[in-house]
Amino acid sequence: MQKESKLNAENRQKTSGRGSNKVPIGSADFLAPESLEKALDYRKRYGFEATVIAGGTDIMVDYFERLYEVNSWLDLNKIEELKKIEINDEEIIIGATATHKRIAEHPDLQKYLPMLAHASSEVGAWQIQSRGTIGGNIVTSSPAGDTLAPLLAYDAKVVLQSKGGNRILDMSDFFIGPKENVEESDELLTKIIIPKPSENILSRWKKVGKRKALIISSLTMAILIEIDNDGVIENARACYGAVAPTPIEVKNVGDYLKNQKLKEVDAKKVGEIAVAGISPIDDIRGTEQYRRQVTHDLTVNAIKEMAEEI
């Protein structure tokens, strides 16, 4: 039960935990570097005292009617390098400030990473997709971030850059809790590296929300299965959002599916394993019981549909 009227409490949701505990440094600066190098200089100098802004679709909501609390801004929008999307024989490299809209409409990403393209087309609404960036979605680190389950399923890595050098981390190592991640105060997330998926890939993406747009997901699911020419599963990853403190891969699903013939898989069993691997809570977007049931049903259906597809 709520103890006090929400009017007297903090009204707004917070989406980025760390930026709000800044100590003002006296001078208020708006930093908009045109090079990554310069941005990393600022980042080192200001640390968390400058709030990083890309699309601003989370941060502007966070600080609605109290923008004055932000002392300095580090704006990444003028850095062309961060917007690039590159594809080579091995990898797909997406710059941190590529917008959801560009990703959703990119023909190669639609081809190679359909779950990511689809998820990007379901973030918020047109306006948010046009402003919001993939890097922002990752750094905000909401367990419900729409692009996160697909990125996990595609085995993405994130590049954290600082003056001192680069760290390349598995996505799964980046998140440590709701809206918490391992990014240090002198680091910027600059790109996402995704191994180019093979030809024999099946995938299923699903977003569940209480309405069709402008909705924080109640649950997301991204399942990827790689099969050989005989229909035997070589590799599988079942990833979910909004069912645990961070977006997660349920590794037991992959382990269970590996080396099985997809057409012979016991889909119900897969659903059970998936549910056993999540730890949902009750919140306004759904209850624990609802999330468990839907995780089960969506997983079972996804496996069945994929089996029928081959």
Partner 1 sequence: MNDLKQVNKSKKRVDAKAKVTGKAKFGADLKFANMLYGKVVRTKYPYAKIKNVDISKAEAYPGVEVVMTAKDIPNNTFGVIIQNQRVLAEDEAIYIGDGIVMLAAESKEAAEEAAKLVEIEYEELKGIHDPLESRKPDAQLVMEGTDSNQVVHHPLRKGDVETGFAEADLILEREYSTHYIEHAYLEPEAVTVVPNERQTLVSVYGSVQNPYATRDAVARVLEADLSQVRIIQDNMGGSFGGKDENISSMAARAAVMALETDRPVQMVNSREESIIESYKRHPYNLKYKVGATKEGKLTAMEIEAVADSGAYACQTPFVTWRSVVQATGPYEVPNVKTDTYGFYTNNPYTGAMRGYGSPPTCFAQESLMDELAEELGMKPDQLREKNMYRQGSHTASNQKLDNHTVSLQEVLDKAKESINYDKKYEEYSKEQTGEKKRGIGLAISYRGVSLGAEAIDTTGGIVAVQKDGSIILYCGLAENGQGLRTVFSQVVGEELGVNLDRITYMEADTSVAPESGSTVASRSTFMGGNALKKAAKNVKETMIEFAKEEYGVEGEIIFKDNALYTDSGKKIEDFSKVASDAFHSGVFLSSYGWYKAPKISWDEETGQGRPYFTYVYGCQIAEVEVDTGTGQVKVLNMAAAHDVGKAINPANVRGQIYGGVVMAVGHALMEDLGFSDGFINHTNFDEYLIPTAKDIPDIDAIIVENPDPAGPYGAKSIGEPTVELGGAAINNAIALATGERHYDLPLNLERVLIGRDLSREG
User: Which residues contact partner 1 (rule: CB under 8 A)?
Assistant: 1-2, 4-8, 11-13, 61, 125, 206, 208, 210-216, 218, 282, 284, 286-287, 289-290, 293-294, 297-298, 301
- Block residue for tokens 């941005």: 39
- For partner 1, the closer of residues 157 and 291 by Cβ is 291
Q: Token pair of 231, please?
A: 């229909």
**To the nearest whole angstrom, how small is the minimum distance from the Cβ of residue 280 to partner 1?**
12
Q: Nearest to residue 236, comparing CAs of 285, 201, 269, 276? A: 201
> 81 and 37 in contact (C-beta within 8 Å)?
no
For 254, the 3-state DSSP assignment is helix
- Quote the least distance from Cβ 308 to partner 1, whole Å: 12
**To the nearest whole angstrom, how small is the minimum distance from the Cβ of residue 144 to partner 1?**
12
Closer by beta carbon to partner 1, 5 or else 21: 5
Q: In a 3-state reduction of DSSP, which class is residue 64? A: coil
- Least CB distance to partner 1 at residue 216 (A): 8
Asked whether the beta carbons of 124 and 115 are under 8 A apart, the reply is no
Give the integer Cα–Cα distance in Å for 209 and 302. Answer: 18
Q: How far is the CB of 203 from partner 1 (least distance, A)?
A: 17
Measured from the CB atom, the residue of 61 and 176 that comes closer to partner 1 is 61
Strand pairing class (30-31; 72-75): parallel
Q: Which one, 4 or 264, has the nearer CB to partner 1?
A: 4
CB of 221 to partner 1, least distance (A): 10
The 3-state secondary structure of 198-260, one letter per residue:
CCCEEEEEEEECCCCCCCCCCEEEEEEEEECCCCEEEEEEEEEECCCCCCEECHHHHHHHCCC
CB 123, CB 136: distance < 8 Å: no
Query: 239 is written with which tokens?
Result: 């990833």
Pair 284, 210: CB distance under 8 Å: no
Amino acid letter for position 211: R
Minimum CB distance to partner 1 smaller for 12 or for 163: 12
In angstroms, give the least distance from the CB of 61 to partner 1.
8
Residue with Cβ nearer partner 1 (48 or 290)? 290
Q: What angle do CA 151, 157, 159 make, to 5 degrees?
A: 125
Is residue 145 left, alpha or beta, with left meaning phi > 0 and alpha meaning psi from -120 to 50?
beta
CA distance linking residue 280 with residue 286, whole number of Å: 9
For partner 1, the closer of residues 210 and 268 by Cβ is 210
Whether residue 176 contacts residue 246, with contact meaning beta carbons closer than 8 Å, is answered with yes
Q: Residue 62 or residue 186: which is nearer to partner 1 going by CB?
A: 62
DSSP-derived 3-state class of residue 182: coil
In the complex, least distance from residue 209 CB atom to partner 1, rounded to whole angstroms: 8
